[in-house]
Chains A and B, each alone.
Chain A
Amino acid sequence: MSLVNFTTREITCKIVYYGPGRSGKTTNLHYVYGRVPEARRGRMVSLATQTDRTLFFDFLPIDLGQISGFATRFQLYTVPGQVYYNATRRLVLQGADGVVFVADSQARQLDENIESLQNLQSNLLGMGVDIRSLPVVMQYNKQDLPRELILEAPELDDALNFRAVPSFPADALHGQGVFETLKAISELVLKKLAAGSAA
């Protein structure tokens, strides 16, 4: 549950990385983990199968310290991408303050991307959350692959980003676009939290 708690002076944001299997959600978290100073990050919890597929979810807590007098914490989660783990996805999605949709830029994965996006929308609806009211950003991962294999950002925007949310081309393995994505979703979430608390 998102929180700007003026009494305890805490801000807690839960951000969920969503997307089809093998699109690079866990890779995003790993990259962030590697860049966060040790003192600021908690233990990254990753429950994976023998083939490194996320079995349940990944969790990375980050402590940003005191910001404007508020103890600010980010909790980054990933969901398992495989179709058959929908119950887990719903569980992880609960209480999310923002979603990063990590799409696989490979042309042959377009259907999986669309299916996952639909799945996100329907899971949110199942929880009574309208995707239009939730901060979401898109990340088009694996842009480092050969041009002939992938769709470029504008093409993916056309195919997936019909709500015109902020989108970022990325190469999560090498870090390109990872923090840009995180910054964008954080900004959206914090603005929304502030608007919510003001209301």
Chain B
Amino acid sequence: MTTALNAKFSFETCVVGAANRLAVTAGRAVAENPGTAYNPLFIYSGSGLGKTHLLMAIGQSAKKLVPELNVEYLTLDEYVEAFHAAVAAGQGDAFRRRFENVDILLVDDVQFLTNRKEMQTELLRLTEALQTAGHQIVLTSDRPPGDISDLDERLISRFSGGLVVDIGAPDYETRVAILRRKAEERAARFQPGVLEAVAGGEYHNVRELLGVLNRLVAYQAVNEELTAEGAKQLLGLSEATPAAAPAAPPDEFGSFLQDVTATVGKAVEAWRARVAEAIIRWEGEGYRTKRLEALLDEETPAAVDEVITRFAADVERLKALEAEVAALDPQAAGQSLFRDPERLNEAEAAAATVQAGAAPPPGPSGAFPLSTYAVGPSNEMAVNAVGAVLEEPGRQYNPLVLIGRSGLGKTHLLHAVGLELAKRPNAVVACLSTQAFIDELIAAIDGDRVEWWRARYRRVTALLLDDVHLVAGKERTQEELFNLFNLLQGGDRQLVFTAPTHPSKLTGVEPRIVSRLEGGLVAELGEPDRAVRRAVVERLLTQQQLSPDATFVDYVADRPADSVRTLVTLIQRVIEAATAQDRPLSAGLAREVLEGQPPEKGRRTTGFRTSGLVVSSLGGIRSREKMVWDWPDPADRLLEELR
């Protein structure tokens, strides 16, 4: 049903010029990161300017990077035909499911959606489904979405929601490059200046240009070698005869341009032109060309062609390395060193590192430094334990398990420990949520690279996992964690975990892991005490550059809060109220906001009493029992009870 991707249509065979650079760059980005970069990508241009080539190149490149990807290319007509056939066979749902499982869907010629309402609906549904699932969709058309007549508004907005790019007619330089590339592919040789003269003509698209090249090749096969002038005559590109076209003025500028081109061609040594063209080509593909640029600064460099060939070979090697790395670690493949042939050695080393699994796992977040962690009697024990861990990582308290309810600062302390440990020489600190750890393992299993994943974690000097209770019921993760735990602990490498409760109370976690967690130090973080609350208030005010009166800090610090998170929310509310009412931060305002004011007299509407909690106008939540004035009107209550 779907058309196979034509191997000839790849990014490597695509000549990039000013007219298509944006489209090609977007296409590459999509191929490298399907579903994330531009989704959907909508490419439009006139016929014969390379839409299909680009579409297939995206598919091939993506497949090359990740061979497991399910890529489908088809024209809109094929899609319509297949849909009708499926519906006729009573297989409509199977058809839909099939396309919803495609990782990259490439649809050519969507302008034919005009007057096909049912297909528009179908495509809209499919686009939505693919986007929701994070799958990539790339469409081409001969006009922008808004210009496709009779197209559903929702489809227009869908198509325009990603990136809409156009491909223009190739400029002169691109035409020359295309002709040279195609002549090379066909092993056709032409006298110098012939292709340039041919490219000087007016062409509306690339197919027309290739047709002209075919004529030249065919002519040369049976005649003598063409000269530039001969080629122009053959193609009717010579100066127009005044009698033939009296109305159309001769293209004086085009002729001037040709003259200048010829003069520059003579004036600039041939080797410089070759180098400059190579630079334009590789720059267009996104590679750094410092080595070639350096050639241009020399007067008469030796072995120019060798340098260019070597450079091209280096670029090819970089491409291969990048592809290898992308298969293992897509993030690492995005590094700029894979685009700089001068750093080929570094790229080789980086690739080797990735292959050896040495790409560092996720580290601690810089947003949680130890210096901003509020300390008080309620968390003193945990903080002291952290101090001991930082003094001698891996020796004392290994593992350290921080427990406490949500919002008490476990994650902050965990990342703070990670940041401090990361400061040590040669430290490789893995600090991540257990969920991320599980997800990585699943992705590794899915990508058949568990060994690589293991190697990544085996080389860390410290492993810090947030919310370790999430391993509950995940047998494979527990198995991996158990082995990793033993390996790291045996090597005196620090382990730190957080959990909401004591390890012995965790359900669904294997006893062998529980016992190991208990084997270190389990430090509990209590509800924030006054000192902690005070420190949190002061830190928050300093961060926001606010200076309230002293009563405010005292008031908030004195107010009980079950967690740091709650406290921060309360302070934030007061700050927002102060800004909204343009009043200074004070204990009075805080009291007003946090404890509320008596409401105006009057009958309350039912909207205020839909639950046991009452929402105040300032956003706070008050318990109804404590606020007598919030009792609903007895008449309302009666009505409600009757309902």
Is B297 an interface position by the 8 A CB rule?
yes
- How many Å from the CB of B200 to the closest CB on chain A? 12
Cα-based distance from A38 to B145 in the complex (angstroms): 27
Selected from A64, A69, A183, the residue in CB contact (under 8 A) with B279 is A69
Count how many pairs of residues, one from A and one from B, have CB atoms less than 8 Å apart in the complex.
82
Contact A6 B264 (CB under 8 A): no
Cα-based distance from A194 to B296 in the complex (angstroms): 14
- How many Å from the CB of B608 to the closest CB on chain A? 65
Is A187 an interface position by the 8 A CB rule?
yes
**A72-B264 contact in complex given A9-B279, A179-B255, C-beta closer than 8 Å:** yes
Contact A69 B259 (CB under 8 A): no
- Identify whether the interface residues of B are mostly helix, strand, loop, or mixed: helix
In the complex, what residues of B have CB within 8 A of residue A182's CB?
256
**A6-B263 contact in complex given A68-B276, A194-B268, C-beta closer than 8 Å:** no
In the complex, what residues of B have CB within 8 A of residue A6's CB?
272, 296-297
**A191-B253 contact in complex given A6-B297, A69-B273, A186-B260, C-beta closer than 8 Å:** no
Contact B260 A67 (CB under 8 A): yes
Contact A175 B275 (CB under 8 A): no
**A67-B256 contact in complex given A6-B272, A6-B296, A7-B293, C-beta closer than 8 Å:** no
- How many Å from the CB of B75 to the closest CB on chain A? 32
Contact B296 A67 (CB under 8 A): no
Cα-based distance from A113 to B274 in the complex (angstroms): 45
**A68-B265 contact in complex given A9-B276, A9-B296, A186-B260, C-beta closer than 8 Å:** yes
Is A190 an interface position by the 8 A CB rule?
yes
Is A138 an interface position by the 8 A CB rule?
no
Chain B residue with Cβ nearest A192: B267
- How many Å from the CB of B168 to the closest CB on chain A? 10
Chain B residue with Cβ nearest A191: B267
B residues contacting the other copy or chain, number (CB 8 A): 29
Using an 8 Å CB-CB cutoff, how does the interface string of B239-279 with A read, 1 for contact, 0 for none? 00000000001001101110111011111100011111101
- How many Å from the CB of B176 to the closest CB on chain A? 9
- How many Å from the CB of B528 to the closest CB on chain A? 61
- How many Å from the CB of A182 to the closest CB on chain B? 6
Is B538 an interface position by the 8 A CB rule?
no
Is B314 an interface position by the 8 A CB rule?
no
Is A16 an interface position by the 8 A CB rule?
no
**A69-B267 contact in complex given A7-B293, A183-B259, A186-B259, C-beta closer than 8 Å:** no
**B residues bordering A, Cβ < 8 Å?**
171-173, 249, 252-253, 255-257, 259-261, 263-268, 272-277, 279-280, 293, 296-297
User: What are 18 A-B residue pairs whose CB atoms fall within 8 Å in the complex?
Assistant: A7-B293, A7-B297, A9-B279, A11-B264, A36-B253, A37-B253, A64-B260, A65-B171, A65-B172, A68-B261, A69-B277, A70-B276, A72-B260, A72-B264, A179-B256, A186-B260, A187-B259, A190-B260
**A residues bordering B, Cβ < 8 Å?**
4, 6-7, 9, 11, 35-37, 40, 64-70, 72, 175, 178-179, 182-183, 186-187, 190-191, 193-194
